[in-house]
Amino acid sequence: MKKFFAQTYLWLLLAMLYAPILIIAIFSFTEAKVLGNWTGFSTKLYTSLFSGGVHHSLLTAIENTFIIAIISAAVSTLLGSIAAIGIFNLHHKKKMVMNTLNNIPMLNPDIITGISLFLLFVSLGITQGYTTVVLAHITFCTPYVVLCVMPRLQQMNPNIYEAALDLGATPMQALRKVLIPELKPGMISGFILAFTLSIDDFAVTIFTIGTEGLETLSTYIYADARKGGLTPELRPLSTIIFATVLLLLIVINIRSARNKKQSNA
C-alpha cells in the first residue's frame, strides 16, 4: 500500500511537470488555431513552420537565436577553459576565493544580471543590439564552462603538463597537445550547456536586445503572446526545441557517466 502511494505520488509529480509540454507537443499535430481544439491529426503546422507560411520574423528570430547561441557558447568555452586552468593553478586561498567569485553569477537571479548589464551598456554608450546580446550571453555562460572544466583538471595527474615540457614541448605546445585533449570532455559538456542556456534565456536578452527590432525566439514569443494568442506554429517549434534540448541533455549525461567510468578504471 505504502509503495502504491509512493508510486502514485511520483507519477503525479512527473505528470504535473511534463503536462504543459506534452499538451503542446500533442496539439502541434493538429491544425486548430486555438489551443485545446482537436481537429484531427495533421502535420500542416510543421510544414508551414518550415515552408515560410508563417510570418517572416519568426524564422529570423530562430536564426538569430541559433547564431547567438553558437557564438556565445564558443567564446565562453574558450574563456571558461582558460579561466579554469588559471584558477586551478592558483594557491589554495586564492583558488577558493576565485571559485566563489565564479559561483556567484550563477546564483544571481537572471533579472539582476540583465538589469546590471543593461545599465553597463547604457553607461558605456554602446548601442544595444546583436553585439550586446552576444556579450551578455557570454557573460552568464562562462562560469558554467569553468564549472564543467574544473573537475577534469582536478582528476588530471598534475605532472603531465610538466612531462610535456620536459619532453621538449613549449608551453603553448604542451597546452595544445596535452592539456586541451585532456580537458576536451569537460569543454564539450561546457559548450553544450552554454548553448542550451543561451537558447533558453529571456530575462537577460530582453534587457540587452535594444530597440532596433532584433528578435530572438524568446522575445518573439513574449511579444507574440502579448499581442493576443500565440501563433499556432509556435507549438511545433516548442516541440522541436524541447526534443533538441532533451537530446543534448541525454548526450551530456551519457558523456559524464562514461568519463566517470573511465577515470574509475
Partner 1 sequence: MKDSNFIIELNHISKRFGDKVVLDDVSLFVKKGEFVTILGPSGCGKTTLLRILAGFGTASEGEIRIAGEQMTDIPPHLRPVNTVFQRYALFPHLNVYDNIAFGLKLKKVKADEIDMRVRRALKMVGMTDYEWRDVNSLSGGQQQRVAIARAIINQPQVLLLDEPLAALDLKMRKDMQMELKQMHKELGITFVYVTHDQEEALTLSDTIVVMSEGRVQQIGTPIDIYNEPSNAFVADFIGESNILNGTMIKDKAVSFLGHEFECVDKGFGENTPVDVVIRPEDIYIMARTDSGMFNGVVQSCIFKGVHYEMTVNTAEGYEIMIQDYNAFEAGQEVSMIIKPSDIHVMKKERLCNSFDGVMVDSTHVEILGASFVCAEQADIEGGEKVKVEVAFEKIELMDNKDDGVVEGDVRFILYKGDHYHLTIRTENGDNLYVNTCDVWDDRDIVGIKIQPEDLKITKA
- Interface residue list for partner 1 (CB under 8 A): 157, 159-160, 162-171, 173-174, 177-178, 181-182, 262, 265
Looking at the Cβ atoms of 131 and 170, the one nearer to partner 1 is 170
Q: Which residues pair with 41 in a beta bridge?
A: 30
Of 171 and 229, which has the nearer Cβ to partner 1?
A: 171
**Closer by beta carbon to partner 1, 78 or else 169:** 169
**Burial of residue 211 (number of CB atoms within 10 Å: 0-12, 13-18, 19+):** exposed
At closest approach, how far in Å is the CB of 47 from partner 1?
Answer: 45
Q: Whose Cβ is closer to partner 1: residue 109's or residue 168's? A: 168
Q: Tell me which DSSP letter residue 175 carries.
A: I
Q: How far is the CB of 180 from partner 1 (least distance, A)?
A: 10
As measured in angstroms, the least distance from the Cβ of 227 to partner 1 is 53
Neighbours of 165 (CB within 10 A): 13
> Which residue, 53 or 158, has its beta carbon nearer to partner 1?
158
Please report how close the Cβ of residue 163 comes to partner 1 at its closest, in angstroms.
4
Count CA atoms within 13 Å of residue 92 on its CB side.
Answer: 0
Grid cell in block for residue 105:
553569477
Q: Which residues, listed in sequence order, are joined to residue 30 by a DSSP beta bridge?
A: 41
Q: How far is the CB of 177 from partner 1 (least distance, A)?
A: 8
Q: Which is nearer to partner 1, 163 or 249 (CB)?
A: 163
The C-alpha atoms of residue 163 and residue 159 are separated, in whole angstroms, by: 6
8 membership: H or E segment, kind and range: helix 2-27
Phi, psi (rounded to 5 degrees) for 211: -120, 20
Which of 49, 56, 27 lies closest to 40, judged by CA? Answer: 27
| Rounded least distance, CB 190 to partner 1, Å | 18
